[in-house]
Chains A and B, each alone.
Chain A
Amino acid sequence: MSALEHLPNSDQIGDTGLLRFLTCGSVDDGKSTLIGRLLYDTKTILADTLHAMERTSARRGHEAVDLSLLTDGLQAEREQGITIDVAYRYFTTGRRKYIIADAPGHEQYTRNMVTAASTANLAIILIDARKGILTQTRRHSYLAHLVGIPHIVVAINKMDLVDHDQATYDRICGEYLAFAAKLGIQDVRFIPLSALNGDMIVDRGEKLGWYTGPTLLDILEAAPTAHSERDERFRFPVQYVCRPQKSDDPALHDYRGFMGRVESGEIKSGDAVIVLPSERRTRIKRIELNGEVLPMAIAEQSITLLLEDEIDISRGDMIVRADEPAQITRQIDAIVCWLGESPLDPARKYLVRQTTRESKAALAGITYRLNINTLEQESAQQLNVNDIARVSFRLAQPLCVDRYEDNRSTGAFIVIDEATNNTVGAGMIVAAG
């Protein structure tokens, strides 16, 4: 199949939106080859890139083009022989656009994986069919689940190296299901692959005839995009207030537009809303963008809201529907992944940024630290880079929050070190107040 035969028309009939997914695994599992194969088979890799890869492959003594070269990154990485960072890659099938977050398997795995997972709606977890489920597989699965990725695809790769044996595949699936049930992972699918030969990625190949399910690309094409599966509450953090001044247009003298992105849910003109944290009530007068009036807006749309009543609203406030309140709180319990090189210091104040709002925060306690290999809870006095722990913070300013489980936008926050301005922590709210 050539993906380009289905290239989108400009009228976008049949456009099924955009899917962000994550690939986890190490180079040894064939992750780079898998990504290379997806890009190659959907004709995303162009001839000059391919030629550069052919030259490098030949120089390194490979017979076929080494598709993993495609994910070879920066000079700084090649010098040190490591993968530093999450890389983002793109391909389209014409029906759908994809953003791959490619998280390196070894270095800084927790920090990188949590970063890559934060925006993904699906995760592909690679398993080497010869090795089966490893500690790393459990770690990746746990992190994907922790960061709330709703769909997990377990790709059992290198089937060519186990003679395409169905029994091997079935055994790994069974083991994985038992462990996924313990973690509470609900949506998990399995697929046998040979990324090297391209079997079951875009084309089915001939060696895995016993597998009758969809190819990997079919799974991706049919996967639900973010916000499309369940009703969500309307959440609109105000980013910017538009008050056109010195305008020649008298109609604009009283214009006050509240600009932002619908983080979740939907809103219609005329809906009753509450502004948080002031809890003032009003109605939506108009939804617009660049002069165009919109009857309604849905999740992830950037819009401007005009309200019936003149209420004092600034950046950091949140507009919600009157029948869908959020919690206003000065204390949060959260699962935090520590990202900073310096440990979390209980004596210091940090800055928490959640939606468009910021507050000073002080650590109120570390409930436990999670051992990412055994998944056991341990007591801890401080947190180091790549640690995951349940902690509570006291806040100087109230935040308007939901539990992360209910809302991946309003339930998430980052921790900033004011001395360096670095982002040093990522948090997911478990409970408020």
Chain B
Amino acid sequence: MPNHTKILSHLDWLEAESIHIMREVAGQCSNPALLFSGGKDSIVMLRLAEKAFRPGRFPFPLLHVDTGHNYREVIDFRDFRAHQLGERLIVRNVEDSMKRGSVVLKTPTESRNKHQSVTLLEAIEEFGFDCCIGGARRDEEKARAKERIFSFRDSFGQWDPKNQRPELWNLFNARVHKGENIRAFPISNWTELDIWQYIEREALELPSIYFAHKRPVIRKNGLLQPVTDVTPAKPGDVIEEMLVRFRTVGDITCTAPVESDADTVHKIIEETATTTITERGATRMDDQTSEASMEQRKKEGYF
């Protein structure tokens, strides 16, 4: 019989795997960046990066592609957390791409969310990044379920689902030619529940809008649309003041809150465990447009 009966708990295992992936990026790539939005998944990623590299500095800067339509609380938190960690934060704005003419909105009110890809690719080119570390999870969406942990993108930033590199054991292949890049996903194997359990265990701070708060919303297509400067009420809309929280935060125009009175991480875990709607299904207006919309966006360079 083996003399070690100790096994890693599922959170310890996930943490160890993610640290391993981040260190592989640091070991194999010459100029990586970590995508940090101030959202819960990327907050978990920063804790994992601390575990991977402290007492050293992170071997990569943090990069945020800002649509200009993010919640103030999240942007403030992003800046606060980067400063607290003493790490370099690079912000690139979709609005600058619009000024340059590389992003053209069909209508002034069109969501800028999918245009993040353009700005991201511009940032990759500007800084010569050969790898972007992202916080995507395979449980989020079916186009993600088949994505590699080290996902190859060609010089146009495109993902080709039919032509992915086989990924065996823990042996990752981050080799690229100049102009190509890798998207590395250290938390591929985490679920939404794992994320919340880890946030609780590590006592991680989060932007306040993840917790239950009062907010004016409009019921639309089964989702709650927040009433904001960017998404104002239209004539005839019925505005309700509801107790809500965000399960996922992102561009205001496509991220909806859910009705909830969970005001602590523990209550959120209980709610997550018993919820009946998937994270993106409850909250993402962009994924609902078509069954394949995430797959389409990823082919265009979305992370």
Contact = CB atoms under 8 A, between A and B. Distances in A.
B276 A47 contact: yes
B282 interface: yes
B189 A88 contact: yes
B27 A356 contact: yes
A421 B266 CA distance: 45
B166 A339 contact: yes
Given A301-B16, A412-B169, A412-B171, A231 B3 contact: yes
A58 interface: no
Interface stretch (B53-61, B75-83, B210-218): B53-61
Interface in A53-112: 72-76, 84-90, 92, 96-97, 99, 111
A423 B281 CA distance: 35
A168 interface: no
Contact of A87 (B59, B145, B193): B145
A42 to B, nearest CB: 12
A46 interface: yes
B92 interface: no
B176 interface: yes
B162 interface: yes
A76 B295 contact: yes
A376 interface: no
Interface in B48-78: 50-57, 59
A154 interface: no
Contacts, number: 204
A74 B142 contact: yes
A12 B9 contact: yes
Interface in B180-217: 188-189, 191, 193-194, 197, 200-201
A118 B200 CA distance: 32
Interface string A14-46: 011110000000000000000000000000001
Contacts of B121: none
Given A228-B2, A421-B176, A252 B55 contact: yes
A200 interface: no
Nearest to A247: B55
Nearest to B266: A10
Contacts of A302: 15-17, 19-20, 23, 51-52
B146 interface: yes
B6 interface: yes
Contact of B161 (A84, A111, A118, A240): A84
Contact of A48 (B161, B188, B191, B278): B278
A10 B11 CA distance: 10
B11 A12 contact: yes
A371 interface: no
Contacts of B291: 52, 75
Interface string B34-50: 00000000000000001
B291 to A, nearest CB: 7
Contacts of B27: 239-240, 315, 356
Interface-central residue, A84, A88, A354, by most chain B CB under 10 Å? A88
Nearest to A77: B161
Contacts of A12: 9-11
User: Which interface class (under 10, 10 to 19, 20 to 34, 35 or more) fits A?
Assistant: 35 or more
B20 A10 contact: no
B294 to A, nearest CB: 10
A239 B20 contact: yes
A301 B161 contact: no
Nearest to B281: A48
Contacts of A118: 168-169
Contacts of A255: 55
A209 interface: no
B261 interface: no
B160 to A, nearest CB: 9
Contact of B10 (A10, A17, A290): A17
Interface in B1-26: 2-17, 19-20, 23-24, 26
A225 B7 contact: yes
Interface string A111-124: 10011001100000
A301 B12 contact: yes
A261 B7 contact: no
Given A240-B23, A261-B23, 5 more contacts: A10-B269, A85-B161, A115-B168, A302-B15, A421-B176
30 contacts: A10-B266, A16-B7, A17-B10, A18-B13, A48-B276, A48-B282, A49-B281, A73-B142, A74-B295, A75-B292, A85-B146, A89-B138, A90-B189, A97-B13, A114-B168, A230-B2, A239-B27, A244-B55, A260-B23, A261-B19, A298-B4, A298-B6, A300-B8, A300-B13, A300-B16, A354-B171, A356-B24, A421-B176, A423-B166, A423-B168
Closest 7 CB pairs between A and B? Answer: A48-B281, A302-B19, A75-B292, A47-B276, A97-B10, A421-B175, A118-B168
Interface of B: 2-17, 19-20, 23-24, 26-27, 50-57, 59, 138-139, 142-143, 145-146, 161-162, 164-171, 173, 175-177, 188-189, 191, 193-194, 197, 200-201, 266, 269, 273-278, 281-282, 291-292, 295-296
